[in-house]
Structure 1
């Protein structure tokens, strides 16, 4: 029976390490996605300056009318 207990502890330790690895991989993927999203937004703003200006104006109006 002690062998079974040891193997359970090992499985728990391995799954915890694997969970940390998955979490780190998820954070890396999320950071990469956010970088690409920001780059795409900048490209869109450069390609369509009138639409970008209108969006900035709408955002500014939203911020002026927002109550804290």
Structure 2
């Protein structure tokens, strides 16, 4: 089954190890990571709806009992 998304290869070419990463590169990597994480959560919630509902209920209870 072909995948339309780009491969999981890093967006930038391999650089020398002592070359610091730019802020833009770091932000792009972080944004991609957060998109993948959100996609994985949504998939898990679709596949395991009962577990997802229980997790939501636990989170709501934690937020209700949290004290500032």
Same structural fold, with TM-score higher than 0.5 when normalized by the shorter chain: yes
CA RMSD, aligned part only?
A: 1.5
Q: TM-score, normalised by structure 1?
A: 0.67
Pairwise CA distance, 1:22: 1.6
Structure 2: where are the runs of 5+ without partners? 1-18
* Residues in 2 aligned to 1:64 and 1:25: alpha-carbon distance in whole angstroms: 38
Q: TM-score, normalised by structure 2?
A: 0.67
Between Structure 1 and Structure 2, which shows a larger proportion of helix residues?
1
Q: Larger C-alpha radius of gyration, 1 or 2?
A: 1
Structure 2 residue 10 is the aligned partner of structure 1 residue 46: no
Per-residue CA distance 1:30-67 (angstroms, 9 max, x = gap): 00000110010010000000000000010011011111
Structure 1: where are the runs of 5+ without partners? 1-17
* Residues in 1 aligned to 2:27 and 2:61: alpha-carbon distance in whole angstroms: 34
- Structure possessing the higher relative contact order (Cα contacts under 8 Å, 6 or more residues apart): 2
How many residues matched?
50
Query: Structure 1 stretches (4+) deviating beyond 6 angstroms?
Result: none
